[in-house]
């Protein structure tokens, strides 16, 4: 990893508390609760040695940044960057949602359903597109960051800003998926992490986590859908630790994997699951049983959620595979959608069967359902790509740690996109950053 970007949304503001739209106005200030959230965020980030801090200059973000900085293990100069300003909503700023609905009903509907194509009038009565403009602003920020940090050793940068600009920053780093703006959630003072590597001049981003809120005493974000599915990757196996390709060889959990499952169970103990599904393989099924902690709930096994078949690669270390299939292994790392494993599957095969199973599960969701789903690295990555609006060729953009928790809010209205309310939360396994074994895929 060459560059770690740690994104933090500002703490609760006065406008957040009152349900007033903020946009680019600086009339909104950090509340007492917002300061408390910022202190908690600084405390949990203290273990990371940052090389720079950037913040929006707007008061609610700058005060969050200053409060966080005071809690860190050394003193930093905060760089206040106008490319981190919040979305410009012009006349909407300072209005409640109800006022916007009443005054601008058509525009508000577009804002909720298709924000990337929303067009508003600016103060000069000229048309502009706030989210498209924000994506341009986000690219200016990342271009400047990459220019400054590309050729350096491993660095970590802390970025404190606002809901919309942070969404645009995160989404622009993963190829700006269509309709992506409404597919993720960022709570006040939440932490999201993206790791950046370079292949010559090509930027390669991987989401380590999105919307981590456990440091705020809130393990799981509030439900914003009609029902919810909690997607978990199975706990660790000996082959994960050794870096062997497992695929469909039915390797059980090791002792650490069982501990990870227990830690996930403890983390989710306030959740009352009423449905449960698992891959038909041992490691996810055992993880699901441990998470449910002897609850009287049937775990439905689904064979189509089994891990990718690596064929002749199964049981082998990466260096063993490289000796016999160097080009194919390189293609797998660079263009996974082009590869069919020798006597195994392609990632498109996995995506087809996994998404079909996912859609079947979603079709059976009823209001208030909280469903546990435990599967595998490749399976979970294809599902998350699907939910984000990405093609399965982008699986390397998604991290799934052993015992990692992803929360998806499901809507009864099939025209609404499901939302990833948090992605790959591993704080129950130790700290902000994912501590799990790299494994092999």
Q: In terms of Cα–Cα distance, which of 99, 104, 97, 50 is closest to 72? A: 50
Q: In terms of Cα–Cα distance, which of 40, 32, 78, 98 is closest to 13? A: 32
234 touches 251 (CB < 8 A): no
Distance CA 355, CA 360 (A): 8
Among 215, 234, 310, 428, the one annotated catalytic: 234
Among 10, 162, 376, 428, the one annotated catalytic: 376
Residue partners of 286: CB distance under 8 A and separation at least 6:
234, 235, 252, 253, 258, 261
Q: Tokens at residue 272, please?
A: 């009352």
The neighbour count for residue 204, using CB atoms within 10 Å, is: 14
Please enumerate, as own/partner, the contacts of 200-204 that have beta carbons within 8 Å and a separation of 24 or more: 203/146, 203/173, 204/396
- Annotated active-site residue 234? The verdict is yes
- Annotated active-site residue 376? The verdict is yes
Three-state helix/strand/coil letters over the chain: CCEEEEEEECCCEHHHHHCECCCCCCCCCECHHHHHHHHHHHHHHCCCCCCEEEECCCHHHHHHHHHHHHHCCCCCCEEECHHHCCCCCHHHCCCEHHHHHHHCHHHHHHHHHCHHHCCEECCCCCEECHHHHHHHHHHHHHHHHHHHHCCCCCEEEEEEECHHHHHHHHHHHCCCCCCHHHCECCCCCCEEEEEEEEECCEEEEEEEEEEECHHHCCCCCCCCCCEEEEEEECCCCHHHHHCECCCCCCCCCCHHHHHHHHHHHHHCCCCCCCEEEEECCHHHHHHHHHHHCCCCCCCEEEHHHCCCCCHHHCCCEHHHHHHHCHHHHHHHHHCHHHCECCCCCEHHHHHHHHHHHHHHHHHCCCCCCEEEEEECHHHHHHHHHHHHCCCHHHHHHECCCCCCEEEEEECCCCCCCCEEEEEEECHHHCCCCCCCCCCCC
Distance CA 211, CA 194 (A): 12
Residues acting as catalytic residues: 234, 376
């Amino acid at each position: 990893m060459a560059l770690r970007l740690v994104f933090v949304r500002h703490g609760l503001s006065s406008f957040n508390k009152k349900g007033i739209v903020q946009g680019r106005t600086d009339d909104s200030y950090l509340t007492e609760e917002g300061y408390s959230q910022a202190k908690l965020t600084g405390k949990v980030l203290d273990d990371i040695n940052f090389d720079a801090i950037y913040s929006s200059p707007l008061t609610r973000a700058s005060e969050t940044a200053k409060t966080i900085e005071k809690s860190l293990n050394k003193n930093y100069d905060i760089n206040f960057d106008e490319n981190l300003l919040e979305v410009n909503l012009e006349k909407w700023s300072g209005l409640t949602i109800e006022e916007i609905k009443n005054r601008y009903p058509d525009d508000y509907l577009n804002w909720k359903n298709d924000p990337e194509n929303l067009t508003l009038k600016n103060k000069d009565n000229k048309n502009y597109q706030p989210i498209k403009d924000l994506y341009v602003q986000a690219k200016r920020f990342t271009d400047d960051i990459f220019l400054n940090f590309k050729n350096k050793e491993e660095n970590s940068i802390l970025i404190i800003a606002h809901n919309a600009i942070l969404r645009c920053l995160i989404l622009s780093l993963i190829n700006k998926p269509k309709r992506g703006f409404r597919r993720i959630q960022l709570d006040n003072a939440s932490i999201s992490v993206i790791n950046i590597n370079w292949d010559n001049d090509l930027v390669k981003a991987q989401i380590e986590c999105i919307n981590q809120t456990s440091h705020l005493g809130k393990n799981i974000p509030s439900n914003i859908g009609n029902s919810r599915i909690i997607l978990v990757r199975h706990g660790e196996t000996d082959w994960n630790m050794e870096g062997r390709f497992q695929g469909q060889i039915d390797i059980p959990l090791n002792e650490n994997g069982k501990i990870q499952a227990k830690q996930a169970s403890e983390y989710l103990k306030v959740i009352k699951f009423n449905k449960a599904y698992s891959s038909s393989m041992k490691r996810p099924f055992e993880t699901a049983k441990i998470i449910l902690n002897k609850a009287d709930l049937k775990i439905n096994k689904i064979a189509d959620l089994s891990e990718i078949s690596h064929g002749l690669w199964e049981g082998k270390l990466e260096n063993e595979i490289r000796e016999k299939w160097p080009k194919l292994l390189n293609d797998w790392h660079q263009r996974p959608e082009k590869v069919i494993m020798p006597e195994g599957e392609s990632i498109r095969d996995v995506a087809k069967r996994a998404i079909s199973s996912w859609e079947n599960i979603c079709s059976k969701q009823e209001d208030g359902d909280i469903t546990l789903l435990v599967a595998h690295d490749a399976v979970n990555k294809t599902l998350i790509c699907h939910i984000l609006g990405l093609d399965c060729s982008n699986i390397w953009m998604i991290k799934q740690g052993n015992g990692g928790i992803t929360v998806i809010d499901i809507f009864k209205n099939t025209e609404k996109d499901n939302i990833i309310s948090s992605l790959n939360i591993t704080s129950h396994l130790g700290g902000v950053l994912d501590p799990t074994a790299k494994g092999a895929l």
